[in-house]
Chains A and B, each alone.
Chain A
Amino acid sequence: MRLQLKLYATLAEYLPPQAMANVAEIEVPAGTSPHQVLDLHRVPRERAHLLLVNGNYIPPERRDEDLLREGDALAAWPPVAGG
């Protein structure tokens, strides 16, 4: 299935080469979890502090369980803040 992988701030270095503007279209097997997507792209799990699927926060304890669906957008940031 196709997903959008969005990696920002210092996680951008893990984006695949075809990425444009921090977004990469990727293909993964059905039933893939957020953690599996991170592992596939060698993003250290502990650095993906803020992880959103379609804009909704996924807490660390659900990142193995909440399986992704066709067309989902997975976005991740290291610890960041502003104001």
Chain B
Amino acid sequence: MAWTRKILRVNLTAGTCTEEPLNMEWAHKYLGQRGLATKYLVEEIDAKVDALAPGNKLIMATGPLTGTMAATGGRYSVITKSPLTGAIACSNSGGFIGNEIKNAGFDMIIFEGKAPKPVYLYLENEKAELLPADELWGKSVWEADHILHNRHQDPLLRIACVGRSAEQGCLYAGVVNDLHRAAGRSGVGTVMASKNLKAVAVRGTRGVGNVRDIKAFMHATQAAKAALAGNPVTGEGLPKMGTQVLMNVINEVGAMPTRNMREVQFEGANRISAEAMHIPRESDGKPNLTTNGACFGCTIACGRISTIDPKHYSVADKPQYKVASGGLEYEAAWALGSNTGVDDLDALTYANFLCNEDGFDPISFGATVSAAMELFEIGAITTEHTGGLEMRFGSAEALTRSAELVAKGEGFGRDLALGSKRLCEKYGHPDLSMTVKGQEFPAYDPRGIQGMGLTYATSNRGACHLRSYTVSSEILGVPVKTDPLSTDGKPELVKAFQDATAAVDSSGLCVFTTFAWTLEDIAPQVDAACEGGWSPEKMLEAGERIWNLERKFNLDAGLTAKDDTLPKRLLKDAAKTGPAKGKVNELHKMLPHYYEIRGWTPVGVPTAETLNRLAL
């Protein structure tokens, strides 16, 4: 359905669940999901609140197209203040739970306060109750999911859950839904666990309703589905190869962050790539990739479902990992692989399974392990700190053991759970942390893709590729090819991507559709579903409004223009190989102009005129 016009407010301190009407004035300005939930968060919490204090709130929000027949209309986001960055956190996930929340009759669920004892929310249509989670606390996501399905005797129950890493305070824990989809970044799971909220279990059967013009909606969604099917990327490339196809592309263009971003190309890239995932192995004749998978309503199906080599050391005597589960996506494969120097595909898959099982972000985890490896190699960390573990680049054992320790919050895993920034500060080398605003980088070295440097520096949630994926233009040529080694036009490109992506993230659709769609394809679907005249221009304006609102939250939280920067390594140490050899990221050439076209002051503050123009 489009907007259900209802919110579920869960006060964990008081143990109450109450319905309230959705603020439609805000819905017409912020659309839904990322934008609308950010508006609620900004209005309801003090931006300076301790992210792990009861005063922080956590919002699970759907978009107006979540749960509809629109292709990929199954997304939901978790919005809160991040304990990792101190900035706004908004993590987006697919799977099936977004659709289920919508079908239960709610646009969003706002969690506030802190439960005195562990609880979970059980939501079955309008019936919402907080139930004891003593039996679930201390269990992994996979174990808790199994217990909840048994307890409620409902195989169609959809569950979002935090793992043991979140319970133990890992600062980059996510919220895992449907076993292996995740709102993974920025520690949203850590916030959920800090509220003693272990899981959200939802069953919704109310069906689709509230679509403004059902005939126009059917036409718009069918036309858009045909465009996805006919596009070689969304119709063929992504389902067959998955996001992992980028491993060799990004390595070839010399933008593959390697060994804590010391290098920009990884000699083992092909061994951990999409192509490698298709090769039958010697032990059982089967490839790593078992099949592809789709989230609710998705006609792309980019997801990877994999099995680990049953003879691999990591799964010896561990039958629970010898089954097919969520496999490597490019971001996980890069962070766990090239950035740690490990080219053992099965070790990476095992570590990825553990990230899913106990709910921690593989990007931040892999980047933190790589920082630990560099600290170890320069002698700042020794085996006395690691409990005997030789944290050397290229060591699959160091990677998989680290994942086991972080999963349960044990031993050196407690240091790794701090994230790269705090780990490097603790051991006296803050410059070795490859982070922006305290969040670890994703898989594109900004020395080889200049626009991504500006993307990272200005991302409202810290280093992130999904806030403005200029790789699409700079490397892949979508919608137009631009030179990755030039800064020309990049401020405009980054702003355009940021605004459009904020709108897509607020709709209930997956951003991967934008490899085939533009706002010209998306707006007619939104407009047919929602009143308010949603033209492409209005969507873009809403995106810009959302971007500025997030910025305002961060400024109120105490962040400044000084936080819009990159680690010294990327600004001072030139790339050693590949097309970007000799280049650093030239952020200084892009940032001032970016502020200018955003309508911000030279120190990155939205001007009164900008705020007024956007009705903020």
Instruction: Give the one of B238, B331, B476 with max A CB within 10 A.
Output: B476
Residues on A with C-beta less than 8 A from B465 are 83
Q: B residues 236-280 with Cβ under 8 Å of A?
A: 236-238, 240-246, 248-249, 252-254, 270-271, 274-275
Contact in complex: A79, B253 (CB < 8 Å): no
Nearest A residue (CB) for B484? A57
Nearest A residue (CB) for B579? A55
Residues on A with C-beta less than 8 A from B233 are 79-81
Known: A82-B243, A83-B465. A6 touches B252 (CB 8 A): yes
Known: A22-B275, A52-B253. A83 touches B512 (CB 8 A): yes
Residues on A with C-beta less than 8 A from B475 are 50, 57
Which residue of the partner chain, among A22, A57, A73, contacts B481 with CB atoms under 8 Å?
A: A57
User: A5 → chain B, closest Cβ, in Å?
Assistant: 13
Q: Tell me if B469 is interfacial: C-beta within 8 Å of chain A.
A: yes
C-alpha spacing A55/B256, complex, angstroms: 12
Q: Tell me if B539 is interfacial: C-beta within 8 Å of chain A.
A: no
Number of B residues, CB within 8 Å of A: 41
Residues on B with C-beta less than 8 A from A49 are 232, 477
Q: Tell me if A75 is interfacial: C-beta within 8 Å of chain B.
A: yes
C-alpha spacing A22/B277, complex, angstroms: 13
Residues on A with C-beta less than 8 A from B246 are 80-83
Contact in complex: A83, B275 (CB < 8 Å): no
Nearest A residue (CB) for B472? A81
Contact in complex: B249, A77 (CB < 8 Å): yes
Contact in complex: B242, A52 (CB < 8 Å): no
Residues on A with C-beta less than 8 A from B232 are 49, 78-79
Known: A52-B252, A55-B252, A55-B254. A21 touches B270 (CB 8 A): yes
Q: Tell me if B471 is interfacial: C-beta within 8 Å of chain A.
A: yes
Contact in complex: B270, A81 (CB < 8 Å): no
Q: Tell me if A18 is interfacial: C-beta within 8 Å of chain B.
A: no
Known: A8-B275, A12-B275, A54-B579. A81 touches B252 (CB 8 A): no
C-alpha spacing A82/B465, complex, angstroms: 11
Contact in complex: A9, B252 (CB < 8 Å): no
Which residue of the partner chain, among B254, B478, B481, B579, contacts A81 with CB atoms under 8 Å?
A: B478
C-alpha spacing A10/B244, complex, angstroms: 13
Nearest B residue (CB) for A52? B252
A55-76 toward B: CB 8 Å interface, digit per residue (1/0)? 1110100000000000001010
Known: A9-B245, A22-B270, A59-B481. A81 touches B240 (CB 8 A): no
A15-49 toward B: CB 8 Å interface, digit per residue (1/0)? 00000011100000000000000000000000001
Which residue of the partner chain, among A9, A55, A77, A82, contacts B240 with CB atoms under 8 Å?
A: A9
Contact in complex: A9, B476 (CB < 8 Å): no
B278-315 toward A: CB 8 Å interface, digit per residue (1/0)? 00000000000000000000000010000000000000
Instruction: Give the one of B237, B254, B274, B511 with max A CB within 10 A.
Output: B237
Contact in complex: B238, A81 (CB < 8 Å): yes
Which residue of the partner chain, among A9, A23, A59, A78, contacts B274 with CB atoms under 8 Å?
A: A9
Residues on A with C-beta less than 8 A from B579 are 54-56
Known: A8-B275, A22-B270. A83 touches B249 (CB 8 A): no
Q: Tell me if B578 is interfacial: C-beta within 8 Å of chain A.
A: yes
User: A81 → chain B, closest Cβ, in Å?
Assistant: 5
Q: Tell me if B330 is interfacial: C-beta within 8 Å of chain A.
A: yes
C-alpha spacing A78/B274, complex, angstroms: 14
Known: A55-B254, A57-B481. A80 touches B237 (CB 8 A): yes
Contact in complex: B270, A9 (CB < 8 Å): no
Q: B residues 196-245 with Cβ under 8 Å of A?
A: 231-233, 236-238, 240-245
Q: Tell me if B376 is interfacial: C-beta within 8 Å of chain A.
A: no
Q: Tell me if B515 is interfacial: C-beta within 8 Å of chain A.
A: yes
Residues on A with C-beta less than 8 A from B254 are 55
Contact in complex: B245, A82 (CB < 8 Å): yes
Which residue of the partner chain, among B231, B477, B515, contacts A50 with CB atoms under 8 Å?
A: B477
Residues on A with C-beta less than 8 A from B237 are 9-10, 78-81
C-alpha spacing A73/B252, complex, angstroms: 10
C-alpha spacing A21/B515, complex, angstroms: 28
Nearest A residue (CB) for B265? A55
User: A8 → chain B, closest Cβ, in Å?
Assistant: 5
Known: A8-B275, A52-B252, A55-B578. A77 touches B466 (CB 8 A): no
Contact in complex: A8, B481 (CB < 8 Å): no
Nearest A residue (CB) for B511? A83
Q: B residues 467-489 with Cβ under 8 Å of A?
A: 469, 471-472, 475-478, 481
User: B111 → chain A, closest Cβ, in Å?
Assistant: 29
C-alpha spacing A9/B477, complex, angstroms: 17
C-alpha spacing A50/B242, complex, angstroms: 17
Instruction: Give the one of A52, A77, A83 with max B CB within 10 A.
Output: A83
Contact in complex: A82, B477 (CB < 8 Å): no
B373-409 toward A: CB 8 Å interface, digit per residue (1/0)? 0000000000000000000000000000000000000
Which residue of the partner chain, among A12, A55, A82, contacts B253 with CB atoms under 8 Å?
A: A55
Residues on B with C-beta less than 8 A from A8 are 245, 248-249, 275
Residues on B with C-beta less than 8 A from A6 are 248, 252
Contact in complex: B578, A80 (CB < 8 Å): no
C-alpha spacing A52/B474, complex, angstroms: 13
Residues on B with C-beta less than 8 A from A81 are 233, 237-238, 243, 245-246, 472, 476, 478, 512, 515
Contact in complex: B481, A83 (CB < 8 Å): no
C-alpha spacing A73/B471, complex, angstroms: 22
Residues on A with C-beta less than 8 A from B241 are 9-10, 80
C-alpha spacing A77/B240, complex, angstroms: 13
Residues on A with C-beta less than 8 A from B472 are 81, 83
B483-520 toward A: CB 8 Å interface, digit per residue (1/0)? 00000000000000000000000000001100100000
User: A24 → chain B, closest Cβ, in Å?
Assistant: 13
4 pairs of A and B residues whose beta carbons are closest in the complex: A82-B243, A79-B232, A82-B246, A55-B579
A-B contact pairs, 12 of them (CB 8 A): A6-B248, A8-B245, A21-B270, A22-B275, A50-B476, A57-B481, A75-B248, A81-B246, A81-B478, A83-B465, A83-B466, A83-B469
Residues of A within 8 A of B (CB): 6, 8-10, 12, 21-23, 49-50, 52, 54-57, 59, 73, 75, 77-83
Kindly list 11 other residue pairs between chains A and B, CB separation below 8 angstroms, not including A75-B248, A80-B233, A83-B465. A8-B248, A10-B241, A12-B275, A21-B270, A52-B252, A57-B253, A77-B245, A78-B236, A81-B476, A82-B245, A82-B329
